[in-house]
Amino acid sequence: MMDMEHYYQPEIECASREQIRAWQDERLAKTVKRVYENVEFYKKRMDKQGIKPEDIQSTADLHKLPFVTKDDLRDAYPYGLLAAPLSDCVRIQSTSGTTGRRVVAFYTQHDIDLWEECCARAIAAAGGTKDDVVHVCYGYGLFTGGPGLNGGSHKVGSLTLPMSSGNTERQIQFMCDLGSTILCCTPSYAAYLAESIHERGLQDKIKLKAGIFGAEAWTEEMRQDIERMLGIKAYDIYGLTEISGPGVSFECSEQTGMHINEDHFIAEVINPETGEVLPDGEKGELVFTSITKEAFPLIRYRTRDICILSHKKCSCGRTHVKMTKPLGRSDDMLIVKGVNVFPSQIETVLLNQGYPANYQIIVDRQHNSDTIEVQVEMTQEMFSDNAGVVTEREKKLVDALKAMLGIYVKVNLVNPKTIARSEGKAVRIIDKRNLYQG
């Protein structure tokens, strides 16, 4: 027998398509007018293309507006895209990765409330109620994972365990002692926890019934593994700091894609080459427009995530459009241990440390945990007959990579000219994880 479907805001989540469309039309027009009046960046862009706020009356006009890219966000750092007075803002969050030019997103209290409601919908969809114990081991801090699910859990009224990441021993102890029922973390950490619980023979002591796992790509096989080992249902959740954080979309009981919270975000799928909007069911790059944000609304933000949208009726009763898991990227960004890694960052470090820019990045997943290795060609200058000297240089490189990316990168020194080149251009990335299927 199917469990009864839980909703946090059924009147919104199950609203008619006409109602959703009406919300979007009204909020889009309002948002465009507001950013045109308050943000120099948007005014310039729209003026350049001869678009006036009045030209955007409904979602049908959305395609007229120019895209916003991550580079735009970096160029606008820190305040360039702020659409509300700084005095109205109460929080910033920031994306993982780059230390040089980060992307910071601003939130008013209202923005946080709406974001947390989105996360509350995800928790409710996973069966969460005020009687649940929600165990959050996403990182807290600048990363949106912890704060988002934490806030969502408060909204639902669940008992919230703000565990943050790491310290597996303590995670398991609290899970057993306090009877955690819903686990929120990255899928790879969930798999690691599952293994650790089995190693300790504690599977009968845990009361988990569901998990909400996001911030990195995972496969259907991994879902089944986690579900079997922990005896839970594992739900996917999607989001990005630029648009708010986790909860932009989330899975329901059907587990066949994630409902996008369309009352807050308009989703489009485009051809990444031409920018042309693609019809339902076609694979392309996901673009979001946030229509309820006060501090940091983004118009047609290119996520670089490749996916497919579907308006097919869902058995859960929700009417909001569904997106597939990301099926790839339209740029060369890698997500390793939940951290965004661009090959160009690695290249910068290598050059700064005196190594040639000829390298190969090998990403793998062992025991459900990501590993990243950089193969670097040895040079005459970096070589010494003293192994200690070479090791010391290698360690300096590892430290510099850690400082740039925030994660440990294994360095492997190889003989010159051994890194495979195709058509004279080095093959930079080998991702052995096969995360993107379908």
- Helix or strand or coil: residue 161? strand
- Under 8 Å between Cβ of 394 and 430: no
Cis peptide before 78 (omega within 30 of 0): yes
Residues 379-398 that bind other proteins (CB under 8 A): 379-380, 383-387, 390-391, 394
User: Is 12 or 374 the residue whose CB approaches other proteins more closely?
Assistant: 374
**What tokens does 86 get?**
């700084």
Q: Which stretch binds other proteins (CB under 8 A): 16-24, 27-35, 245-253, 374-382?
A: 374-382
Smallest separation, CB 382 to other proteins (Å): 8
Q: One symbol per residue from 333 to 372: x for binding other proteins (CB under 8 A), - otherwise; what is it? A: ----------------------------------------
Give the Cα-Cα-Cα angle 275, 277, 283 (nearest 5 degrees).
95
In the numeric block, the tokens 């996360």 are attached to 119
Residues 418-437 that bind other proteins (CB under 8 A): 418
- Helix or strand or coil: residue 213? strand
The correct pick among 78, 354, 416, 438 for binding other proteins (CB under 8 A) is 416
Smallest separation, CB 337 to other proteins (Å): 21
Q: Which stretch binds other proteins (CB under 8 A): 74-82, 163-171, 208-216, 407-415?
A: 407-415
Q: Which stretch binds other proteins (CB under 8 A): 77-85, 148-156, 349-357, 376-384?
A: 376-384
Q: Which stretch binds other proteins (CB under 8 A): 48-56, 93-101, 360-368, 411-419?
A: 411-419
By CB under 8 A, the count of residues binding other proteins is 19
How far CA 190 is from CA of 27, 164, 224, 364, in Å, comes to 38, 13, 12, 17
Rounded to 5 degrees, what are φ and ψ at 430?
A: -120, 110
Q: Which stretch binds other proteins (CB under 8 A): 52-60, 72-80, 118-126, 373-381?
A: 373-381
- Helix or strand or coil: residue 148? helix
- Under 8 Å between Cβ of 297 and 244: no
**What tokens does 329 get?**
């990227």
* Distance between CA atoms of residues 319 and 313, nearest Å: 7
Is residue 411 a contact residue for other proteins (CB under 8 A)? yes
Smallest separation, CB 393 to other proteins (Å): 12
The correct pick among 109, 173, 412, 434 for binding other proteins (CB under 8 A) is 412
What share of residues in the chain are helix, strand, coil (percent, to 5)?
Answer: 35, 25, 40
Smallest separation, CB 417 to other proteins (Å): 5
CA 216 to chain centre: 7
Given the rule CB under 8 A, which residues bind other proteins? 378-380, 383-387, 390-391, 394, 411-418
